[in-house]
Structures are given as structure tokens and as C-alpha cells.
Amino acid sequence: MSSKHDTLTYNTSYSRSKSATIEEWIALQDAWKEQLMLEPEVLCSAVDLESLLETFPLLGGVDITPDREHENVAYVGIAVLSSRTLELKYCQTYRANLEVPYIPGFLGFREAPALINAVECLKKEKPQYFPHVLFVDGNGILHPRGFGSACQVGLFLDLPTIGVAKSFLNVDGLNSLQVKDQLYQQENRWLPLVGSSNRLLGAALLSNGSVKRPIFVSVGYRIKLLEAVNLVFHACRYRVPEPIRIADHISREAARQALCRMQES
């Protein structure tokens, strides 16, 4: 296991510069969405977890923490675990320069290039730890235009990705209170999220028996929702899957250490 701290340069070829218009971003999302090639899914079908673990022996997770003092600086954490044992195999943090401002609904344009660069660096430096599926702290197709940051990361890496969000984004007639009420009133620990357009957008999960707040899972790229739900349940020791929890922890620690160094200087 290793952890270190390097600097990443934001690659605007994955998005647009600060001068791009919202209309250009929408057009890009619509064009990229066509490349997801989503297949219809039967929710009553069974998923063989053993087969999933064979297909995805290494689970990766990425998360990003903003710098407290610099608006366009952030720290990316990446963690890779054994899918069977959830043993941590590798983790690393990067300092990333962000050039695109945050606009609601377009988080991928700000953060996805930094996440993509981190995974590409891992593939180059430690290919033996390159994950077979990646958990992304954010939304996949559970998004106003069906193309959240998990889709953007997966598409450009050509890697199966799962969006795991800690807060709910109201889309397609769904709202947070309605979803939580339905989830709490049923016996199952997960609820399919079907919008007013009758499209399956994702799932709300109570990830283990002691969790009171749901997480929201959606397809990012090259994986089905039932597969994603089963992998998330398997990977959750606490509220969020271990790959994301660890990536979040190390990125926050990197941001904290950077703040301490600045205060001491």
C-alpha cells in the first residue's frame, strides 16, 4: 500500500475553458450521453455476486476535496481495494488545479478532468492496481440531462463507473422527501428511482442495517444498475462504499495538511 501527494494539471481537453457557455456544455453533455449505450434493464432479474467479484476483482474509488484557501485548487483521493476482502491495496492523493467554475448541473466540467487524470496517473505508475470498476462520488445518469460526473469519468477512461451520491438531486419529477418516504416505508433496503418519464434513473439505498440516511446510486458507464447496487451493498461497511470512503478521507487529510503548512509559513 502506498500514499503520496503529487500535483495534477487540469486538462481542459476533457471539457471547456472558463469562457465556454452553458449552451456549449449542454450540447457536449447531450452528445456524450449518446455514447453511453444504455441497455434496458429488468429489475426482477437476479445478480450473481460471485460472478461480479470475478469480473471486477479490484474496486476503485475517487473523491475530491476543495482547498480551503484557494478556490481553484483541490485534492483528489484515489483508493483501490480487493473486491472480495475489501482490503486496501493502494491509495494516493493529488493536488489538482481546477480552471472551470462550479455551476449546478455541470460539476463534471469542473471536477471530472482532475479525477480522470488521477486514474490515468495510477494506470501509468502502478498498472497492477488499476481498478476494474470505479466508484465516483457523484451522480451518473441520475442527473437533469442524464450525464453526471460519473458518466464523464467513465466515458473518457473507457472504464465501468458507478455514481454514488450522498445527497439527492431532484430530477424528472422525483424529489428527496418523496424518495426517502417510499424507501423508509418498504421492507427492502433499496428503492428503484423511476422518473415521471418512466425511465429508470438509479436507486436509493440504505447501505447497511444501522444506516438512517440513504445514498443514491446510478449507472455511470458500462455497468447495469443491478450490478452497481449489488457491488455498492457489498462494498459498504459504513454508509458509503469503502473505496469512496477512503478516497474521501485521504483527500480531506491532504487538504488539512496543506492548510496547516500554509498557516505555519
Q: Classify residue 38 as exposed, middle or buried by CB count within 10 Å of its CB (0-12, 13-18, 19+).
A: middle
pLDDT for residue 81: 98
pLDDT for residue 7: 52
Q: Cα(63)–Cα(98) distance, rounded to whole angstroms? A: 14
Residue 229: all three cell numbers together: 447496487
Residue 16: all three cell numbers together: 471547456
Angle in degrees, CA 104, 107, 108, rounded to 5: 145
Report the Cα–Cα distance between both ends of the chain, in Å, rounded: 31
pLDDT for residue 44: 80
What is the β-pairing status of strands 200-205 and 215-221?
A: antiparallel
Q: Cα(257)–Cα(255) distance, rounded to whole angstroms? A: 6
pLDDT for residue 54: 98
Q: Could you tell me if 91 and 113 are in contact, meaning their C-beta atoms sit under 8 angstroms apart?
A: no
> In which element (H, E) is residue 192 found?
strand 190-194
Cβ within 8 Å of residue 46, ≥6 positions away: none
Q: Could you tell me if 105 and 145 are in contact, meaning their C-beta atoms sit under 8 angstroms apart?
A: yes
* Eight-class DSSP state of 228: H
Name the CATH superfamily for 5-264. archaeoglobus fulgidus dsm 4304 superfamily (3.30.2170.10)
- Encode the chain in three state secondary structure: CCCCEEEECCCHHHCCCCCCCHHHHHHHHHHHHCCCCCCCCCCCCCCCHHHHHHHCCEEEEEEEEECCCCCCEEEEEEEEEECCCCCEEEEEEEEEECCCCCCCCCHHHHHHHHHHHHHHHHHHHCHHHCCCEEEEECCCCCCCCCCCHHHHHHHHHCCCEEEEECCCCCCCCCCHHHHHHHHHHCCCCEEEEECCCCCEEEEEECCCCCCCCCEEEEEEECCCHHHHHHHHHHHCCCCCCHHHHHHHHHHHHHHHHHHHHHHHC
pLDDT for residue 76: 98
pLDDT for residue 113: 95
pLDDT for residue 120: 97
pLDDT tens, residue order, the chain (265 aa): 444 455 544 344 444 444 568 899 999 999 999 999 898 888 888 899 999 999 999 999 999 999 989 999 999 999 999 999 999 999 999 999 998 888 989 999 999 999 999 999 999 999 999 999 999 999 999 999 999 999 999 999 999 999 999 999 899 999 999 999 999 999 899 999 999 999 999 999 999 888 999 999 999 999 999 999 999 999 999 999 999 999 999 999 999 998 777 666 5
Tell me the whole-structure pTM to 2 decimals: 0.92
